[in-house]
Chains A and B, each alone.
Chain A
Amino acid sequence: MKEILSGNEAIARGAFEAGVKVASAYPGTPSTEILENIVNYKEIDASWAPNEKVALEVAIGASFGGGRSIACMKHVGVNVAADPLFTLSYTGVGGGLVLVVADDPEMHSSQDEQDSRNYARFAKVPMLEPADSQECKDFTRLAFEISEQFDTPVMLRSCTRISHGKSIVELGEPATGLPTPKLVKNPAKLVMLPGNARVRHPFVEERLLKLADYGRTAAVNRVEMRDTELGIVTAGVSYQYVREVFPNASVLKLGMVYPLPMDLIREFASKVTKLIVVEELDAFIEDQVKAAGISVTGKEAIPLCGELTPGRLRAAFGIPGAPQVTVENLPGRPPNMCPGCPHRGVFFTLNQLKAYVTGDIGCYTLGFMPPLNAMDTCVCMGASISSASGIVRVLSDEEKKKVVAVIGDSTFLHTGVNSLMEMAYNKAPATVVILDNRITAMTGRQDNPASGWTLMDDSTNAVDLVQLCTALGIRHVRVVDPLDLDQTRAALQEEMNRPEPSVIITNRPCVLVKREGVFQKGLVLSVDQDHCTGCKACLKIGCPAIEWIPAPDGKKGKAKIDPLLCNGCDVCRQLCKFNAIGRAQ
């Protein structure tokens, strides 16, 4: 049977067909939908973990117990999971273990651009890279076979265009005859203290040689001989651009990007007049090919930054593309926090108080945008609290008062807890705001340990954030309603002035969370045009429902609220000094 699947859906299908027992992940674009689709296969125990390190460790446990397991994350998640990954390379696996990593070239939704192939080389584990949804499914199955055959975790690398691209997939039957998981004691292999690990390192090196030998003949690496004038070594989505731009060239299409089958590459190189490597981001293949003494070009022409497109590939090799029309500049359309978003009033208040805001990763990172302009730093998940803790160490007593860390509930539980522990322990006098909207909103509303629901949609224990912060040693923890501007401002002012660590937790769920009603249904605000003086105070919160309507003479104007967009959060009403905003009739 044929279906159109996204790469992520196909990876989920591949996991099902491979007989996976356990799947764990932390959501992150573009990887999120893998687990959201795996959960549809009732045979698999799928769950969200608080972070990627934990997700991988859950998969490791299941593998040690003899079950096939999968952990999924985005590229920056591997940084978090790197610690167990490197040792897992030494222990090897019980049941097959696959770590799926989705890179985000072009940073469509990420804070940096990482080429995860480097992690495969660094951790000395094989990496497969599919080029369409069919390969996503097939390579996922294959990855489990390789994992068990070579006693290694296998990384499967996707990228935004593969994960979120859709193409036709021929579905297969699930694997049968897999062993039943059970406890097997093997401390020499699974207890990585120095004496045991020293024995495993030579195994890891030898395994790489065997994998490279496997890659020489395996069908996953494929030579397509066409015109021998030009030969191209490529992998993943780049293969598709190569086929589009150079339809007549011979291609060595690598499905296993680490370790490289250098004999195969050498043989291919000998059959073509000119050899190039086409790859996104780093010169990962190219550098190794050059180091093997094979003459090749690639990054001299192809950009190191951003994703490839057929057009960029053409430009790199001076091939003229189709003529394009030019259009005049238009106002940009950046993403925005939703109408009624509970974060908006907090950022407005932080701006008013001239706070120095150390931010974090989530929807609320948009608080840096005008007109809120209330975020000054943003590095990685959890860094808001620790950077606040660090910056106050170098500031005067007066400036220390301005430092506020903001972090979402999911991000707080991801790695913010460690940072808050540090802040409490070292008594760093900064204020932390936990924007608790009861969900991991940015990636599409996934539940987390504080939301009270599992991925399987069962109700569960919810972390009590107040008690958790208290237990970490924060003496001043308070809860505020972020839609009440006076209350929010008073709480922030008081805690910012306090010369010790404190936490403010906001208590309104995301407007898109269906389980909990945030606002009274049908409560929509409107601007009384007779009372509106055109002072623009309400525009300062940047709500998409409020629009400035210039007067015909072009001099003055008035605000207007779009009733279809307004969620009735009431924040704008609190800003209007002329009582011009009220409930719509």
Chain B
Amino acid sequence: MSDTITNILLVGVGGQGILLASEILSEAFMLAGFDVKKSEIHGMSQRGGSVVSHVRYGKEVHSPIVPEGEGDILFGFELMETYRYLPLLRKGGTVVANDLRISPPSVLLGQASYPDDLPDRIRALFPDFLLVDGQHLAAEAGNVRAANTVLLGAVAKQLDIPDECWHKALERMVPPKALDVNRKAFQLGRAL
């Protein structure tokens, strides 16, 4: 095993299932034999607030948070939040984002507008940017709320983790009644 640490950031809006997605990721990394650390903030910043979760894996991980500018993969659940956290990424890092807009309070009130060129702005900084229609694929899998698992599948494609680890992690972390939908959602993301 090399000494490299892989740094993953999951960003979005409180209530989108970011915690669960980062738990599934962490579980898969542990099952694959890596050291793994995960850190996020919850509490007041939970509902409707901006959320970022850090997952790091490798032979030995120290800091539970990704050092600024060293993120390898940014995994965005919402467009504006994806753009907001780009400074955490290293140059040439990977961005995978859900094509979803959730308006913050100032936009709801008509005091600010939601930028409509965010995919272009992200692509200008990170040319390999992958924009995923997560809602649509989740609906196809059977539940629009499984968009987080679609994204997880898309990210899994970028990581060298054995298939059985992903499947076992899903089994352990997803409630049994939602497992079938999540398995499908994961495969749809993986096939992108």
Contacts and interface: CB of A to CB of B under 8 A. Distances in A.
Contact of B110 (A109, A244, A321, A536): A536
A542 B38 contact: no
A334 interface: yes
Given A29-B43, A165-B64, A311-B67, A325 B91 contact: yes
Nearest to B70: A322
B109 interface: yes
Main secondary structure on A side of the interface with B = loop
B21 to A, nearest CB: 13
B63 A310 contact: yes
B104 A327 contact: no
Interface in A10-41: 29-30
A244 B38 contact: no
Interface in B18-44: 23, 26-27, 30, 35-44
A390 interface: no
Contact of A29 (B42, B87, B115): B42
A4 B89 contact: no
Interface string A330-369: 1111111110000000000000000000000000000001
Contact of B112 (A29, A30, A331): A331
A497 B62 CA distance: 60
B45 interface: yes
A338 B103 CA distance: 14
B80 interface: yes
A325 B47 CA distance: 28
B36 to A, nearest CB: 6
A539 B111 CA distance: 11
Contacts of B17: none
Contact of B125 (A325, A331, A443): A325
A108 B43 contact: yes
Contacts of B110: 536, 539, 548, 550, 557
A324 interface: yes
A167 B34 CA distance: 11
A131 to B, nearest CB: 9
Contact of B49 (A2, A167, A245, A333): A333
A333 B48 contact: yes
A243 interface: yes
A330 B80 CA distance: 8
Contacts of A325: 86-87, 89, 91, 125
Contact of A237 (B14, B64, B70, B107): B64
B2 interface: no
A330 B83 contact: yes
B129 to A, nearest CB: 12
Interface string A362-398: 0000000111000000000000000000000000000
A168 interface: yes
A296 B104 CA distance: 47
B48 A335 contact: yes
A323 interface: yes
Contacts of B84: 327, 330
Nearest to B46: A335
Interface in A393-442: 442
B103 to A, nearest CB: 6
Interface in B115-155: 115, 121, 125
Contacts of A69: none
Interface string B79-104: 01101101111110000000000011
Interface of A: 2, 4, 29-30, 108-109, 132, 160-162, 164-168, 237, 240-241, 243-245, 309-311, 314, 321-328, 330-338, 369-371, 442-444, 536, 539, 542, 544, 546-548, 550, 557
Given A160-B41, A442-B43, A548-B108, 12 more contacts: A29-B42, A29-B44, A109-B44, A166-B39, A167-B35, A168-B35, A331-B112, A333-B50, A334-B49, A542-B108, A542-B109, A546-B108
30 contacts: A2-B30, A4-B27, A4-B38, A30-B43, A109-B44, A161-B39, A161-B64, A166-B23, A166-B39, A166-B64, A168-B30, A240-B63, A241-B62, A244-B62, A309-B65, A325-B125, A327-B83, A330-B83, A330-B115, A331-B112, A335-B47, A336-B47, A336-B105, A544-B48, A544-B108, A547-B103, A547-B107, A548-B110, A550-B110, A557-B110
A-B complex: 4 closest residue pairs judged by Cβ atoms: A29-B43, A109-B43, A322-B69, A548-B110
